Amino acid sequence: MNLNTYDSQLQVSVSPEGEVMTLQDDRFPWAERKVKTVRLAKLYQKAGYPEYSQKAATCSTWLQYGVSADGSKQLSAANFCQLRLCPLCIARRAKRAAYKLSQVLDLVEGEHGAMFLFLTLTVRNVPGEALGDTLGELVRAWNRLTKHRQFERSVKGWFRAIEITRNPKDGTYHPHIHAILAVPPGYFTRGEGLYIEQSEWVDRWQKALRADYRPLVSIQTAKAKGEYVGGRAAAVEAAKYAVKDSDYIDDRLSEAEAVRIVTDYTEALHRRRLTAYGGWLKTAAKALEAEDLEDGDLVHVDDTVREDVAELIETYNWHFGAGDYVLMARQVNPLKFQRG
């Protein structure tokens, strides 16, 4: 596959000084992420996934922006591949998830006066061939945990996300759950019978996991710089995507090792849901149309400006030779006239 196919077709725009005009967007590192997708495309090809390779190579080769009167830009269209391992889509998905999840938590906080706890539940590291089965068991164990009587009494809503990290020393994987728990205002009040000790969380998770060892469990309030700050801090922390692209796109890895990691993640994550809501948070997510944080729109991740207010439309294409996005066209926004 020739990744430079598009270069010969581009008629780039230049400034009055004769310089090629490239994309300037401080809100998102487009070029840095796009370079990584090209590397991923090569790894997919080596791993025997030609269709994924093509999708990664052509991901976000075209971006369209609305430009307001003050010069600020907002993405209005793009061609995303939506692959689970795409570095560009991972970053956009995490940005969208944080925005949507913060809306959900703010609504729950406002309606119920809820406080939020971070709960991290772990299992022992596993080799690549056991990763998929372990992810399935994690979800089943979580479902068993949420049916415990004390959990149902103390926790009125929850968001659950799976994250996977890799140990570079032995090549094993560490899948674990990050959860946001919505608890009522009296959770920490003595005598209410709602508070669950950390040791009890360990007991309950071990039982739900049906493990013959004591798993590591962490529970803490949603804090930033030592102060309780509520839903938004919880959203940013929990919205991290399941995998980090640095696990397989790293100059320190041999190509064979990187290909093996891509294969392990691709097989384990295939058709697997990694997030879920329950209770108050599920109700709020449905009301806000924020139920799907994995496969939704990656263009409008945190919109602040209406598209029909934009003065201009700018179109950028990825130029493989230049390793950057270059301006292809600039025109007056037709939606502005339709609105007028």
Residue 158 contacts residue 180 (beta carbons within 8 Å):
yes
Residues 153 and 277 in one domain: yes
Per-residue pLDDT in tens (0 to 9) along the chain, 340 residues = 343 443 434 455 555 555 678 898 888 899 999 999 999 999 999 999 999 999 999 999 999 998 888 888 889 999 999 999 999 999 999 888 888 998 999 999 999 999 999 999 999 999 999 999 999 999 999 999 999 999 999 999 999 999 999 999 999 999 999 999 999 999 999 889 999 999 999 999 999 999 999 999 999 887 544 444 555 666 766 766 788 999 999 999 999 999 999 999 999 999 999 999 999 999 999 999 999 888 888 998 876 555 556 788 999 999 988 889 999 988 887 765 454 4
Residue from 88, 73, 90, 91 nearest 22 by CA: 73
| Global pTM exceeds 0.85 | yes
Residues 182 and 99 in one domain: yes
Residues 158 and 280 in one domain: yes
Residue 234's pLDDT is 66
Classify residue 232: in a domain, yes or no: yes
From residue 235, give the alpha-carbon distance in Å to each of 167, 222, 239, 315.
26, 9, 6, 32
- CA angle, residues 13, 17, 23, in degrees to nearest 5: 45
Residues 9 and 55 in one domain: yes
Residues 64 and 1 in one domain: yes
Residue 329 contacts residue 13 (beta carbons within 8 Å):
yes
Classify residue 241: in a domain, yes or no: yes
Q: At what angle do helices 87-112 and 279-287 cross, to 10 degrees?
A: 110
- Containing 161, the helix (H) or strand (E) segment is strand 157-166
From residue 244, give the alpha-carbon distance in Å to each of 15, 88, 124.
38, 11, 19
Reduced to 3 states (helix: H, G, I; strand: E, B; else coil), residue 332 is strand
Residues 165 and 291 in one domain: yes
Give the chain's domain count.
2
Classify residue 130: in a domain, yes or no: yes
Residues 53 and 158 in one domain: no
Reduced to 3 states (helix: H, G, I; strand: E, B; else coil), residue 234 is helix
Domain around 4: 1-82+307-340
Classify residue 87: in a domain, yes or no: no
- 199-235: per-residue pLDDT in tens? 999 999 999 999 999 999 999 887 544 444 555 666 7
Residues 26 and 107 in one domain: no
Classify residue 88: in a domain, yes or no: no
Classify residue 266: in a domain, yes or no: no
Residues 292 and 202 in one domain: yes
Residue 226's pLDDT is 47
Reduced to 3 states (helix: H, G, I; strand: E, B; else coil), residue 172 is coil
State the first-to-last Cα distance of the chain, in angstroms, to the nearest integer.
Answer: 47
Beta bridge partners of 175: 164
Residue 120's pLDDT is 94
Can you tell me the distance from the alpha carbon of 36 to that of 43, in angstroms, rounded to the nearest whole number? 11
Sign of the dihedral through C-alpha 137, 141, 143, 144? positive
Distance of CA 294 to the CA centre of its chain: 7
Residues 14 and 124 in one domain: no
Residues 78 and 213 in one domain: no
Q: What share of the chain is helix, strand, coil (3-state, %, to 5)?
A: 40, 20, 40
Q: At what angle do helices 131-146 and 198-209 cross, to 10 degrees?
A: 120
Classify residue 259: in a domain, yes or no: no
- Structure token digits, residue 122: 């772990």
Residues 138 and 58 in one domain: no
Residue 72's pLDDT is 82
Contacts of 327 (CB under 8 A, 6+ apart): 12, 13, 20, 21, 22, 23, 314, 315, 316
DSSP structure class, residue 14: B
Can you tell me the distance from the alpha carbon of 35 to that of 162, in angstroms, rounded to the nearest whole number? 27
Classify residue 32: in a domain, yes or no: yes
Rg (CA), the chain: 23
